[in-house]
């Protein structure tokens, strides 16, 4: 069989995954896992924002693995890799940081936005100082992607600048040393950015506006009922569908596109009570989440299987990493001991 092209993608272990992760990325991972050789990374070196609560990192590693199994990622066909179990990530980060000008990081929009949030003391950052790890994490993300010599990186829209950076680093390395790395492509999911249940532009844990993949039925019902549904409007007053997140969710998750189109037409012509839309959304979300919750509870009662998935996946990730590090050492010409040079320095 011809060798499959590779995918490397991942998340930081910060807690449960939500519908935004699903529509923005996970759905693509599930779809592509048969076609590509996949490395799914749990990036536990990259959660320095949780330095004061490492137990949360530890718990989240399991949460993420369970969510991945729940959505149908297959740990036998793909590798679930815990980043810190492949310490070559740290090694490659160190080498790459020699060749990455600080200016390249400073131009990275994601980092820029996070820096500004830190300076303002926003959100989860309030009252914290900036750890050195904050500056190195984009370099580490580059190392993550280059490590298995990935061709494709399916991610949410917010990760695109990191992939651009990776392409730049790959080009430079290949040009200045040896052609070791493919220039990876990014792939953004069907719904690049899902609005939060509060109408905020982005669903995110720190804003508390998520619907999690493991959310029980009753809780989904409650959240949908309480969802922001656009500017106030009487039940028989026409509305603008784009301004109503319920419609955005229906467009994202309702498999019956024709029905959504017809509801939209009615909504914009003669109005529809939000309750009708919310009831439909509740049904649609539960139809999506039922099998996910079911698979999750299967694994929750069989945690040794989850452990096996992480152990086997990390071992495969490590083998790929060691192969790449061999190429990197050779390209940089730092195989000191293997060269059998018996001459001393300067000779
Ligand atoms: N930074 C990504 C996030 O916050 C997680 C991540 C780490 C990642 N390494 C990666 C994503 C490599 C894609 C490729 O979600």
Q: Write the pLDDT tens digit of every residue in 136-171.
A: 999 999 999 999 999 999 999 989 999 999 999 999
* Paired residues of 10 in beta bridges: 41
C-beta of residue 8 within 8 angstroms of C-beta of residue 153: yes
pLDDT at 125 over 70: no
The Å distance, Cα 142 to ligand 1 centre, comes to 9
Write down the pLDDT at residue 108: 79
Mutate to test the pocket of ligand 1, among 8, 9, 10, 136 (most ligand atoms within 8 A of CB): 10
Domain boundaries, the chain: 6-195+303-339, 215-297
Rounded to an integer, the average pLDDT of 257-275 is 95
Q: What would the DSSP string read from start to end of 84-141?
A: GGSTHHHHHHHHHHHH--HHHHHT-HHHHHHHHHHHHT-GGGTT-PPPHHHHHHHHHH
pLDDT at 44 over 80: yes
The Å distance, Cα 89 to ligand 1 centre, comes to 13
The Å distance, Cα 176 to ligand 1 centre, comes to 26
C-beta of residue 206 within 8 angstroms of C-beta of residue 123: yes
Closest among 55, 56, 57, 33 to 46, alpha carbons compared? 57
130 φ/ψ sector (left φ>0, alpha ψ -120 to 50, else beta): beta
- Kindly report the protein residue whose alpha carbon is nearest to atom 8 of ligand 1: 10
CATH 3.50.50.60 fits 6-195+303-339, yes or no: no
Query: Is the C-beta atom of 166 inside 6 A of ligand 1?
Result: no
What is the pTM for the complete model shown?
0.93
Write down the pLDDT at residue 112: 81
Gyration radius of the chain's alpha carbons: 23
The Å distance, Cα 181 to ligand 1 centre, comes to 18
pLDDT at 120 over 80: no
- Kindly report the protein residue whose alpha carbon is nearest to atom 13 of ligand 1: 9
Closest among 73, 82, 94, 78 to 47, alpha carbons compared? 82
- Kindly report the protein residue whose alpha carbon is nearest to atom 5 of ligand 1: 11
One CATH from 1.10.240.10, 3.30.1340.10, 3.40.50.300, 2.40.30.10 for 215-297:
1.10.240.10
Write down the pLDDT at residue 15: 95
**Cα separation, 234 vs 216, whole angstroms:** 31
The Å distance, Cα 215 to ligand 1 centre, comes to 23
The region of weakest confidence among 20-24, 55-59, 189-193, 304-308 is 189-193
Query: Is the C-beta atom of 186 inside 6 A of ligand 1?
Result: no
């Amino acid at each position: 069989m011809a060798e499959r092209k590779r995918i490397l993608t991942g998340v930081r272990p910060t807690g449960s995954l939500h519908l935004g992760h699903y529509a923005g990325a996970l759905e693509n991972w599930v779809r592509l896992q048969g076609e590509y050789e996949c490395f799914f990374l749990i990036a536990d070196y990259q959660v320095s924002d949780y330095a004061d609560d490492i137990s949360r990192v530890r718990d989240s590693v399991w949460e993420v693995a369970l969510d991945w199994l729940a959505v149908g990622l297959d740990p036998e066909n793909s590798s679930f890799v815990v980043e810190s179990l492949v310490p070559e990530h740290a090694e490659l980060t160190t080498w790459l940081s020699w060749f990455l000008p600080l200016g390249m990081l400073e131009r990275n929009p994601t980092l820029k936005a996070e820096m500004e949030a830190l300076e303002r003391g926003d959100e989860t950052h309030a009252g914290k100082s900036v750890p050195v790890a904050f500056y190195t994490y984009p370099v580490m993300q580059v190392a993550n992607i280059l490590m298995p010599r990935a061709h494709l990186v399916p991610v949410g829209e917010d990760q695109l600048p990191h992939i651009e950076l990776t392409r730049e680093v790959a080009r430079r390395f290949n040009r200045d040393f040896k052609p070791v790395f493919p220039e990876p492509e990014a792939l953004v999911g069907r719904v690049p950015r899902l609005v939060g249940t509060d109408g905020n532009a982005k669903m995110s844990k720190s804003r508390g506006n998520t619907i999690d993949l493991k959310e029980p039925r009753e809780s989904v019902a409650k959240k949908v009922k309480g969802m922001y549904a656009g500017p106030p409007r009487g039940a028989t007053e026409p509305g603008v569908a784009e301004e109503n997140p319920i419609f955005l969710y229906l467009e994202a998750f309702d498999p019956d596109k024709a029905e959504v189109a017809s509801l939209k037409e009615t909504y914009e012509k003669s109005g529809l009570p939000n309750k009708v839309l919310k009831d439909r959304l509740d049904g649609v979300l539960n139809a999506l989440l039922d099998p996910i919750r079911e698979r999750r509870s299967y694994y929750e009662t069989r945690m040794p299987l989850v452990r096996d998935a992480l152990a086997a996946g990390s071992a495969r990730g490590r083998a790929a990493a060691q192969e790449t590090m061999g190429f990197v050492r050779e390209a940089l010409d730092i195989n000191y001991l293997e060269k059998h040079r018996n001459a001393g320095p300067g000779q």
